[in-house]
Every structure is written in structure tokens, then in C-alpha cells.
Structure 1
Amino acid sequence: MDKKSAQNIEKPDTGSKSPESLKPLSDLPRESRAIVRYLRGGRGFSARLASMGVTPGVEVTVLQNFGRGPMIVTVRDTRIALGRGEAHKVLVEAL
């Protein structure tokens, strides 16, 4: 593992949960609510999601998740579509 990847994993914003109890956003079923705790990706990925309102601490609601292909979530009263790979890099704490 390169140094940059190790730095991204070392200090996630896990709230009150241990990092092991977090799950990828892509694993949540339809109508689930969760709090974003960590983004597993580089600066470009984090900046792109931040521009759409997906930041650590924000609540998301899953509107559509068929288990393959893109998923649709609501973030800050806005619907956004995330590719499966993107959603897998967003670690959340289910509510």
C-alpha cells in the first residue's frame, strides 16, 4: 500500500462507531438512512463529492439501489446519482 492510501485510511471520521462497523454506501438497501463518516479516495474524488454536498457528517437517504449500476441518493434535499464504484468508497454509519 502506498503512503497516500495509508494516510486516507488512518483517520476516518467515524463518529461514535469503530471503523470496522462502517459500511459502504453501496451496501445499503432502498429507503435506508445513514451518516457519511469517511470518503475512501483521493483529493479529486473527495472534491467531486463535496461539490455535490457529500461530506463527512451529512445524512444521506437511499432512493434507489438495485445492487448493480448507479444508485440514487438524497443529500441535503438534492437527488444525486452515484456510480457503484463511487458509492463503494463512501463509508457510512446506518441510522
Structure 2
Amino acid sequence: MKKIKEEILEYLFREKKEKVSVSELKSYFNLENFDEIIKSLEDEGKIKLENDFVILTDQGEKEGEDIFEKHEFVEDFLKNIGVSEDFAHEKACEIEHHVSEDKLKDIHPLSELNTGEIGEIVLIRGGRGLIQRLYDMGLTPGTEIKVLRQAPFGPIEILLRGYHLALGRGVTDRIWVKKKS
């Protein structure tokens, strides 16, 4: 039941509506024990029921966002290694429920590392063109990089395989790294 509860919270977060009708949710998920699951989510303080509408609480919104972000991360990772978009989406729906928060909390965009910090590239999120361009520059998963300098709203200079490289903020937001101690 945990998985379906997470799917409902993710759906509510993803839809970004103020309210979603109970009948819309029931129709979308088509579950025999739907009423029991909704009651359980309400008892856990993750949703509120008002008339015929389901509204996420702050706690429910946070959990929905966490599941949504896990899904996006896993899907991007799978696409990054060459899996088709449809297959990546399908598998991300299965995998997202097994990824623990503590595994993801150490992974950040390169733009969040401070000067002097070292990270190992885990994933590059973006279109095939961007990913290929960064791979061609040597920015590949498993590669260690060090942040040398940062302009306040400008590029970040990194040390990569003995070379200095300046990357724009938009690009560094798409390069996900695991911080090294």
C-alpha cells in the first residue's frame, strides 16, 4: 500500500492543482481499496478532504515532491545511459519507491559545491546534445572535479583531469555530483 500512497501523492503534486476531485483520482487509479487508501492518507495528515476534493497538506506536498524528484532523477539517469524515453519513464515509476532519501541527499548540482570542494559526477541531466557536448569535454559519470573559482552569478571554474574549465551556471545546474570529503 506504501507504493500506491506514494503514487497518489506524486500525482497530486505533479498536477499542481489547488484541488483534485475524489472521483478524478478514483477514476485515474482504478483501485478496489481506493477509499481505504484515501482515508489512510488523511489519517496520516498527508491530505485533507473538503467536500468532494482532495487537497495536499504541507507534509503531503513535501512527500509528493520528494517522490516526483526521485522519479525525475531516475528517469534522467536511465535516459543518460541510452534507455528509450518510454522505457525510462516506466522503470522510473518502479524504481522511485526503492530509492532512499539518504542516498539522494549527498547528490547535488555542481553549482551548489563551494570553492575548493571536490565532487564525483553522477549524472548529467539534459538533452542528448548537451550530454554529448559535456561528455566530449571529459565530463562523464565517475569523473572527479574540483571547484576552483566561482563568479557570483557567472561561470564556475573547475579542475577536470588536470585541465581548467569554465562552465556557465545553467550547465553546472545540470551536472549532478556526489560531494567527496
TM-score by length of 1: 0.81
More helix by share: 2
- Bigger relative contact order, structure 1 or 2 (CA pairs below 8 A, ≥6 apart): 1
Residue 33 of structure 1 corresponds to which residue in structure 2? 118
More strand by share: 1
Aligned partner of 1:28: which letter? L
Aligned partner of 1:33: which letter? I
Aligned residues: 88
Aligned pairs for 1:10-25 (under 5 A) are 18-25=103-110
Structure 1 unpaired stretches of 5+: none
Q: Which has the larger radius of gyration?
A: 2
User: Tell me, what secondary structure is at the counterpart of 2:140?
Assistant: coil
Structure 2 unpaired stretches of 5+: 1-13, 15-71, 82-101
User: Tell me, what secondary structure is at the counterpart of 1:18?
Assistant: helix
Contact 2:106 2:179 in 1 (8 A): no
- RMSD after superposition: 2.3
Residue 78 of structure 1 corresponds to which residue in structure 2? 163
Contact 1:35 1:93 in 2 (8 A): yes
TM-score by length of 2: 0.44
